[in-house]
């Protein structure tokens, strides 16, 4: 274990000297605002909160922190779900709130260069004027820096990929205060080691992203939506496989289980049946493509024994159809007043999805736990949402979490499809990676020998 | 610099003990067969050629080589263009000729697990029976292991991505003889450091790939082809930008310059005009999509002042239209008897493509060099092909190579889009990567402290 030094008044002064007095705060209120994310993980107080405005400022702080052995935890906007940005070892909390600008739009290249603190929804609002968008969408208005650091994904990954697939170039501040550039604005690059993808998803433990050039895609001119109910999970998943194999290139392919569909209907009267349900979305440059595509999807669903099939290319109707999916979390929360939620995340190869879903149903029934399943089925990714109101029900959901993770690993999957490792998944890393975890550790130690960068994450402690 | 030990008779015996007598050869003929690739780079003789048949065999050899400080250079089938697999420091040449099997097809997951020595064309011939294919296509029948090690790309990258985008999981033998697994068969993974992409493109200098699980896509049921001539390079490239921005998702978007078009026409009477030319291909699940798509492409080309536009969805006509592009290299070689070719590779952001192409034209004219340009324009990637027959013309092409690389870097591009660094591009790495090259070196030293893995590549020497 690394040992760290406290943030002394002298260090606070030094930070003020580097960043300006108004960029450094030890106020209790600000420390508390940056002590926990949106998950169940316990709050931890940093010793100082800072708001750099330039890459050089970030680098200068790291150099100081590295020399003085002070932990630095980067912070986007706190929407993490595994404690990824909780400052568990205290030290410096580095907020990117003031580095939230668009640096340059390269419209002809379908690229934009941004500071890491910009929210992806805010970015997309700006880009809409140019008919472009940055596709990864984890739901909340996460910052681009946080999305890249955690390789966030979301609903549209099945077509557009995760965050790691939508970034070309980054500027990164290393633990020792060097600023490096990784990747290239050239789409193709076969030049040396892919440090870009080493840093993406490393949760701020190898370096801190200070600027990123993102890939953009044209806003689709035409979209369609489908909701389909199936007699069994198997039928629903076979439909997922068939739609992916058809070449129809869905932009979303989402699953909710019968329990979740029932809850959504009962809570808000949304027009769903109590069956395993798929939501789909298709994007196309031409309306004719959508119409013929929907016919093909209808045929596939019919072959798989669909119980109910609704499809539309009308924008208003599309929103209605997707309402339940887009608002499923809020509806769930509203329908369980006085309860908190623990949301877990695993992913498996698509062929193992029915077995994973069946397993979750089995163990939650066995333990009498309430659980809702909602998944990015096109990616083999599922979230199990556990409401809890007591320490006992929380403990039970944690136990079930562990069982489901180990099942996903046994099925050739991963402990985390899109929420990252953070604190919560660290203990499963040896099971998922084996000796490769030692290689990760070697790389960590070689780039951050004093362990100042977001300590307590990814690697199991103790 | 690392210092290495020779391959003594005792080492040869030890290798025979590990792999079997028939898997180890010191015959001059076999050493010569593995001394150079398809490039101009000088031949170097290994001291022994080995043919492992299992991952454990690969790992055992590395353990021995690491203990005894003997270089190991992995070899696919020798189609590299930058000396990537030339054993410049002698030692052990590790051929993957006998590790060329399909390990498992996961059809429902659109994945296949293969040994690294399988040729991608051989693999695709097998996969065709299942309606699936592995999209990266560098032209030659490169092995999958070689493609992954060098992040090979090719014509279809604009739609399907490079090799790095089409691999999910690999087994890798490390320098010290450990076997690790990186990545996951789950499409989504946000679990720890992305060692998969660190190894891909590292040209065998960080570890040797012993097995890979690849992403597959459905064979497109319908394809169309377009050939279009433009008055200027600018008009051609603006068409590329517009087609990419249209959401029509081209599967190939290729450029040849007027000189190249003229040579192809004069050499074989192919139906091309002496103008900057684009070749395009579109893939679709439904024929109607193609027809409406071609209309949209025709309109875009017309807006850009196209001189001649031909499009077809007929498979026979499609082959005719693409014949000149697919056979451009052979036609060029045939039309320059008694000459050799040096093919260089750079890539830039698409907006810089016209400036890059203009620059190449300018400097080659200035020096009176013959040069043909052929490019994956949709990716901003261009190859300049220099015929040469004398030391003087070779030296001139090398000098021009350097000028073009530095221009590509000045335009925000890369020294190598798809051929890798190998020997030839190593000297440009400090210019492209700056301090990030030091980080690559730190990672190299931490994973291969004795420098046994493919020495003399990627990092500049001396």
DSSP per residue, B277-298: EEEEEEEESSHHHHHHHHHHHH
Please work out, in degrees rounded to the nearest 5, the angle formed at the alpha carbon of residue B149 by the alpha carbons of B145 and B155: 85
pLDDT of residue A419: 97
**Residue A350: inside a domain, yes or no?**
yes
Residue B373 pLDDT exceeds 70: yes
Chain A residues with CB under 8 Å of B189 CB are 151, 347, 414, 416-417
Q: Report helix, strand or coil for A372.
A: strand
Q: Which residue has the tokens 């040209």?
A: B203
- Determine whether the interchain pair A108/B241 forms a contact, defined as Cβ–Cβ distance below 8 Å: yes
- Determine whether the interchain pair B439/A180 forms a contact, defined as Cβ–Cβ distance below 8 Å: yes
**Residue A115: inside a domain, yes or no?**
yes
Residue B169 pLDDT exceeds 70: yes
In a 13 Å sphere around the CA of B256, the CA atoms on its Cβ side amount to 29
Do B416 and B356 belong together in one domain? Answer: yes
Alpha-carbon separation of residue B243 from A189, B226, B239 (angstroms): 22, 12, 6
A96's CB contacts (< 8 A; 6+ apart) are A52, A74, A75, A76, A115, A116, A117, A143, A145
Average pLDDT on B357-365 reads: 95
- Rounded to the nearest integer, the mean pLDDT of chain B is 95
**End-to-end alpha carbon distance in chain A:** 8
User: Maximum Cα–Cα distance for chain A, whole Å?
Assistant: 71
pLDDT of residue A139: 85
Average pLDDT on A103-131 reads: 97
- Determine whether the interchain pair A184/B241 forms a contact, defined as Cβ–Cβ distance below 8 Å: no
Chain A residues with CB under 8 Å of B82 CB are none
Do B80 and B158 belong together in one domain? Answer: no
Test the A interface: residue of B345, B439, B444, B449 with most A CBs within 10 Å: B439
**Residue A403: inside a domain, yes or no?**
yes
Least confident of A265-279, B125-139, B249-263: A265-279
- Determine whether the interchain pair A109/B349 forms a contact, defined as Cβ–Cβ distance below 8 Å: yes
In A, minimum Cα distance to B349 occurs at A186
Do B141 and B201 belong together in one domain? Answer: yes
| CA distance linking residue B403 with residue B151, whole number of Å | 24
For A239-261, the three-class secondary structure string (H helix, E strand, C coil) is: HHHHHHHCCCCCCEEEEECHHHH
A254: closest CA of chain B, how far (Å): 14
Q: Which residue has the tokens 């608002």?
A: A327
Task: Give me the helices (H) in B87-180, please.
Answer: 120-127, 144-150, 157-160
Do B76 and B177 belong together in one domain? Answer: no
The size of the A-B interface in CB pairs under 8 A is: 304
Last residue of a domain, one of A306, A330, A354: A330
pLDDT per position as a tens digit, A387-408? 999 999 999 999 999 999 999 9
Question: Considering only CA atoms, which of A304, A322, A297, A307 is closest in space to residue A244?
Answer: A297
CB within 8 Å of chain A, chain B residues 240-259: 241, 244-249
| CA distance linking residue B174 with residue B195, whole number of Å | 12
The residues that bridge with B93 in the sheet, in sequence order, are B49, B73
In B, minimum Cα distance to A105 occurs at B351
Last residue of a domain, one of B162, B196, B218: B218
- Please tell me which of the candidates B351, B379, B439 has its beta carbon nearest to residue A447: B439
Question: Considering only CA atoms, which of B108, B30, B375, A294 is closest in space to residue B22?
Answer: B30
Q: CB B115: neighbour CB atoms within 10 A?
A: 23
Grade residue B1 by pLDDT with cuts at 50, 70 and 90.
low
pLDDT of residue A462: 64
Do A226 and A125 belong together in one domain? Answer: no
The domain in which residue B55 lies consists of: 9-97
What CATH number has the domain bearing residue A208?
3.30.465.10
pLDDT of residue A1: 60
B368's CB contacts (< 8 A; 6+ apart) are none
Do B348 and B370 belong together in one domain? Answer: yes
Alpha-carbon separation of residue B344 from A399, B137, B327, B405, B453 (angstroms): 57, 18, 18, 9, 25
**Residue B392: inside a domain, yes or no?**
yes
Please, are residues A163 and A200 in contact by the beta-carbon 8 Å criterion?
yes
Task: Copy the structure tokens of residue A19.
Answer: 């960043």
Strands B92-95 and B72-75, bridge-based pairing = parallel
pLDDT per position as a tens digit, B18-27? 999 999 999 9
Count of the separate structural domains present in chain B: 4
B333: closest CA of chain A, how far (Å): 26
**Residue A438: inside a domain, yes or no?**
no
| CA distance linking residue A408 with residue B458, whole number of Å | 38
Average pLDDT on A438-445 reads: 98
Do B107 and B77 belong together in one domain? Answer: no
Would you give the DSSP letter of residue A454? S
Average pLDDT on A263-271 reads: 85
Question: Considering only CA atoms, which of B263, B274, B279, B234 is closest in space to residue B385?
Answer: B263
Average pLDDT on A426-455 reads: 98
**Residue A274: inside a domain, yes or no?**
yes
A431's CB contacts (< 8 A; 6+ apart) are A406, A409, A415
pLDDT per position as a tens digit, A212-256? 999 999 998 899 999 999 999 999 989 998 998 888 899 999 999
Last residue of a domain, one of B82, B97, B112: B97
Strands B92-95 and B48-50, bridge-based pairing = parallel
Average pLDDT on A172-188 reads: 98
- Please tell me which of the candidates A109, A435, A440 has its beta carbon nearest to residue B193: A440
Do B21 and B66 belong together in one domain? Answer: yes
- Determine whether the interchain pair A106/B349 forms a contact, defined as Cβ–Cβ distance below 8 Å: yes
- Rounded to the nearest integer, the mean pLDDT of chain A is 95
Do A326 and A344 belong together in one domain? Answer: no
| CA distance linking residue A352 with residue A438, whole number of Å | 28
**Residue B459: inside a domain, yes or no?**
no
Do B119 and B41 belong together in one domain? Answer: no
Percentage of chain A with pLDDT > 90? 87
Do A113 and A214 belong together in one domain? Answer: yes
- Determine whether the interchain pair B414/A186 forms a contact, defined as Cβ–Cβ distance below 8 Å: yes
DSSP symbols for A197-243: HHHTTSTTSS-EEEEEEEE-EEPPSEEEEEEEE-SSHHHHHHHHHHH
pLDDT of residue B273: 93
Task: Give me the helices (H) in B218-257, please.
Answer: 233-245
B309: closest CA of chain A, how far (Å): 21
- Determine whether the interchain pair B191/A415 forms a contact, defined as Cβ–Cβ distance below 8 Å: yes
Q: Does any CB of chain B come closer than 8 Å to the CB of residue A416?
A: yes
Question: Considering only CA atoms, which of B219, B293, B288, B296 is closest in space to residue A293?
Answer: B288
Residue A327 pLDDT exceeds 90: no
CB within 8 Å of chain A, chain B residues 168-227: 174, 178-182, 184-195, 197-198, 200-202, 206, 217-218, 220-221
Task: Copy the structure tokens of residue A28.
Answer: 């209790």
**Residue B330: inside a domain, yes or no?**
no
| CA distance linking residue B269 with residue B201, whole number of Å | 39
Ramachandran sector of residue B131 (left: φ over 0; alpha: ψ -120 to 50; beta: rest):
left
- Determine whether the interchain pair B188/A247 forms a contact, defined as Cβ–Cβ distance below 8 Å: no
């Amino acid at each position: 274990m690394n040992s760290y030094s406290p943030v002394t008044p002298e260090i606070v002064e030094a930070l003020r000297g580097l960043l300006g007095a108004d960029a450094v705060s030890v106020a209790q209120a600000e420390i508390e605002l940056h002590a926990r994310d949106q998950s169940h993980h316990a709050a931890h107080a940093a010793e100082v909160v800072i708001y750099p405005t330039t890459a050089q400022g970030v680098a200068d702080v790291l150099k100081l922190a590295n020399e003085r052995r002070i932990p630095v935890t980067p912070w986007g906007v706190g929407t993490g779900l595994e404690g990824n940005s909780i400052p568990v070892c205290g030290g410096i909390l580095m907020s990117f709130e003031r580095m939230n600008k668009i640096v340059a739009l390269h419209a002809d290249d379908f690229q934009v260069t941004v500071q890491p603190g910009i929210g992806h929804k805010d970015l997309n609002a700006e880009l809409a004027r140019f008919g472009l968008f940055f596709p990864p969408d984890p739901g909340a208005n996460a910052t681009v820096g946080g999305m890249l650091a955690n390789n966030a994904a979301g609903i549209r990954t099945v077509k557009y990929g995760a965050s790691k697939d939508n970034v070309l170039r980054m500027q990164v501040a290393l633990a020792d205060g060097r600023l490096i550039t990784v990747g290239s604005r050239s789409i193709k690059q076969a030049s040396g080691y892919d440090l870009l993808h080493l840093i993406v998803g490393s949760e701020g433990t190898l370096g801190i992203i200070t600027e990123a050039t993102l890939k953009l895609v044209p806003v689709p001119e035409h979209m369609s939506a489908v909701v389909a109910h199936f007699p069994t999970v198997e039928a629903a998943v076979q439909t997922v496989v068939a739609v992916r194999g058809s070449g129809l290139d869905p932009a979303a392919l989402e699953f909710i289980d019968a329990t979740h569909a029932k809850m959504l209907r009962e809570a808000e009267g949304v027009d769903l049946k109590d069956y395993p349900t798929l939501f789909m979305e298709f994007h196309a440059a031409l309306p004719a493509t959508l119409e013929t595509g929907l016919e093909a999807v209808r045929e596939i669903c019919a072959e798989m024994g669909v119980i109910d099939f609704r499809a539309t290319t009308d924008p208003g109707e599309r929103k209605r159809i997707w309402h339940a999916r887009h608002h499923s979390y809020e509806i769930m929360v509203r329908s369980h007043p006085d309860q908190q939620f623990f949301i877990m995340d695993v992913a498996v190869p698509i062929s193992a999805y029915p077995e994973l879903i069946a397993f979750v149903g089995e163990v939650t029934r066995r333990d009498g736990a309430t659980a809702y399943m909602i998944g990015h089925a096109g990616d083999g990714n599922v979230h199990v949402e556990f409401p809890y109101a007591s320490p006992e029900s929380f403990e039970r959901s944690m136990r079930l979490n562990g069982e489901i993770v180990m099942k996903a690993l046994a099925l050739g999957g991963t402990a985390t499809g899109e929420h990252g490792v953070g604190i919560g998944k660290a203990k499963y890393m040896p099971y998922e990676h084996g000796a490769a975890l030692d290689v990760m550790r070697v790389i960590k130690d070689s780039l951050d020998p004093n362990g100042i960068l977001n300590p307590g994450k990814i690697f199991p402690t103790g």
